[in-house]
Amino acid sequence: MSIKFLDMSAQRKTGNMPQTYRSGGEDMYGSCPDKCPLKPADAKTATEVDEAYARALAKSVPRNGVSFSYSHFSPEKWKGFGFNKPKRTTLNYSASTQEEAIQSFKDGIPTVWAEENPSARKVDGVQLMPCPADKHDHIQCVNCGGSAGPICARPDRKFIVVFKWKQWKKIPCYAANGYVKFTWKNTGKVLSNMTDGERLLEWVKQLPFGSTVRHHIAGDIGKVGKHE
Ligand code: SF4
C-alpha cells in the first residue's frame, strides 16, 4: 500500500499537525506526475490521477477542522472531484512556472509556486505573496494565518502563495531530502487490503475535533502502478 499516517509531527515547516505521506510502493515518486520539475529524471511516475483516492481526499476533513494539500497534476485532471468547497479539502495547484500559476489563479484554482527569492508583488493584475514560514522562524503551517487558519487551507484567497525554492544538492524535490525522505521511503512498506482512499477516510474520522490536516507531505494524487 502507499499511504502512511502521522497523528503528530515534528516537521519544521508544518509544525505539529496530523499529516500523511503517499508513495508509489516500490518507487517513491509513483504517485507523482511526470510534469513535476522537482523529481529525479529517472523516477517512475504516475500517468493518471487516482480518482477514487482523489474523491476520498476531498472528503477527508476532520469534524469542525480543515484539510489542505497540493498537487502537481493539472487542475483539469482533478477539479471535478469535490475539492475547494465548504467542509472539503483545499487542494492547491503547484504550478511549474509563474505563467502557469497566474493562469491557474485566474481560472479560480488556489495556486502556489516556488522561486529562489519570493517577493510580494502584482503580476498581470494578480497578487503574489511569500509563504510566511519561509520568512519568519516563528511561523509554521500550524499557526499560519492566525484564527482564520492556514493560508493554504483557504480555497478562495485573493493571492498566489510563493514558496522559497531551496537548492538541494542532488534532487530539487524537498521530500527527497532530510527528515521527510526517511518518512517517505518507508511509506511503501505498509500492508493493507484497503485502498488508500478507504484508509484515509477511516483515519480522518478518529482525529480530534477541530484538527488541521496536511495531506501528503510527499507524494501526489496519481494512480499507483500506472507508470510513465
Ligand atoms: S502559507 Fe501558511 S499554510 Fe501555506 S505552506 Fe506557508 S505556512 Fe504553511
Query: Tell me: the pLDDT tens digits for 42-76?
Result: 888 899 999 999 999 999 999 999 999 999 999 99
What are the Cα distances from residue 14, in Å, to 51, 186, 224? 27, 20, 26
Query: Quick check: is 206 in a domain?
Result: yes
| Separation between Cα atoms, residue 107 and residue 215, nearest integer Å | 23
Does 151 sit in the ligand 1 pocket, CB within 6 Å?
yes
Does 149 sit in the ligand 1 pocket, CB within 6 Å?
no
| Separation between Cα atoms, residue 217 and residue 32, nearest integer Å | 12
Query: Quick check: is 224 in a domain?
Result: no
Q: pLDDT over 90 for what percent of the chain?
A: 68
Query: Quick check: is 187 in a domain?
Result: yes
Lowest mean pLDDT among 29-43, 86-100, 126-140, 185-199: 185-199
Does 66 sit in the ligand 1 pocket, CB within 6 Å?
no
Reduce the DSSP state of residue 179 to 3 states and report it.
helix
If you measure from the C-alpha of residue 109 to the centroid of ligand 1, how many angstroms do you get, rounded to a whole number?
Answer: 16
When the pLDDT of each residue in the chain is averaged and rounded to a whole number, the result is 89
Res. 172: pLDDT tops 90: no
- Geometric angle at alpha carbon 31, from 174 and 62, rounded to 5°: 85
Query: Quick check: is 61 in a domain?
Result: yes
The residue segments making up the domain with residue 163 are 3-218
CA 150 to chain centroid? 13
Query: Quick check: is 228 in a domain?
Result: no
| Separation between Cα atoms, residue 33 and residue 228, nearest integer Å | 9
Query: Quick check: is 49 in a domain?
Result: yes
| Separation between Cα atoms, residue 212 and residue 19, nearest integer Å | 9
Query: Tell me: the pLDDT tens digits for 179-216?
Result: 566 666 666 566 677 899 999 999 999 999 999 999 99
| Separation between Cα atoms, residue 113 and residue 78, nearest integer Å | 18
Query: Quick check: is 156 in a domain?
Result: yes
Does 144 sit in the ligand 1 pocket, CB within 6 Å?
yes
pLDDT at 128: 98
Domain count, the chain: 1
Beta bridge partner(s), residue 94: 112
Atom of ligand 1 nearest to the CA of 140: 7
Atom of ligand 1 nearest to the CA of 161: 1
If you measure from the C-alpha of residue 93 to the centroid of ligand 1, how many angstroms do you get, rounded to a whole number?
Answer: 14
Res. 168: pLDDT tops 60: no
pTM above 0.95, yes or no: no
Query: Quick check: is 227 in a domain?
Result: no
- Where residue 178 falls among pLDDT bands split at 50, 70, 90? low
Quick check: 187 and 219 in contact, CB under 8 A? yes
